[in-house]
Structure 1
Amino acid sequence: MQTTDLTPTEAMFAADEASRNLGIELLEHGEGTAVLRMTVTAAMVNGQKIAHGGYVFLFADTAFACACNSHGPVTVAAGADITFAALAHEGDVLVANAEERTRFGRSGIYDVSILRGDDVIAEFRGRSRSMRGTNTKEPR
């Protein structure tokens, strides 16, 4: 598949080495939505033998990025927060469901649920801002 055949979400994810190197998979995406999967590896576990919150946040942030970049212009996080609801452990398969709540001007609000089966691991809210150009190296 040529780069020009990719959707904005697919193109962004294809260039996201950080997420791909952690084994994150883009399962589904649409306008303002994305579903991703990640298996918690031994390298993602902290000294308490639970998934490090930073990896769970990164996973949610990646789903947020896929959803908010679905519209075309390069879009970045203006802010985000997460609430951890349950623990995740090595071997757990997590799914992130990202959904757009609203867009206004160049800004947007997105919610991401991190699940292990039916169990909620975390809830994330991201606030996005679209850049003026379509390339992150262009002037803002």
Structure 2
Amino acid sequence: MNPLPEDPIKVAHCCATFMLSGDAPAKAFGFSLRRAAPGEAELEMTVSQNGLNVFGTCHGGVLFTFADTALSIACNSHGRQSVAQQCSITFVRPVRPGDRLIACALERCRTSRTAIYDCTVTNAQDGKVVAEFRGHSRTIADDMPA
């Protein structure tokens, strides 16, 4: 990656673009970036047939991956290489094929090497929350990889 710009919004967007460029599950499930800012990320996806469980609803692993990807973008948005340290998710309601989902990750607190993020996954059709996710991150390098 080239040296990061000085504008924090541009840094966040540059890091988000980098993070998504090498994320195979994000590509496979069609995650796309809506917004990136320091400590924040917003993604969207449409649930496809390859994301369904045996009951015909969105697989919990896909929802977890969606929220985890939003966490990944938010925790790397400061231009420092960070990874998930611990995460949990609560599934609130089922998601059907064709539903468009929005994942909004928001930094709750950050120290020099750790941070906590909350991510809400919402069904864009009706505005209802489908999952709540909390992730803890750990900074492992002061710079993003080249």
Q: CA deviation at 1:17?
A: 2.4
Moved more, 12-21 or 119-128: 12-21
Structure 2 SS opposite 1:70: coil
Number of aligned residues: 135
Q: Does 1:121 align with 2:130?
A: yes
Q: Does 1:70 align with 2:77?
A: yes
Structure 2 SS opposite 1:131: strand
**C-alpha separation between the residues in 1 aligned to 2:130 and 2:137?**
23
Unmatched 5+ stretches in structure 1: none
1:27 maps to which residue?
34
2:108 maps to which residue?
101
**C-alpha separation between the residues in 1 aligned to 2:88 and 2:116?**
12
Match of 1:132 among 125, 141, 145: 141
Specify the code of the residue in structure 2 equivalent to 1:132.
Answer: A
Q: CA deviation at 1:18?
A: 2.1
TM-score, length-normalised on structure 1? 0.90
Deviations 1:62-110 (A, max 9, x none): 0010100001111000000001111001111000011000001200000
**C-alpha separation between the residues in 1 aligned to 2:144 and 2:16?**
14
**C-alpha separation between the residues in 2 aligned to 1:27 and 1:134?**
24
Specify the code of the residue in structure 2 equivalent to 1:58.
Answer: T
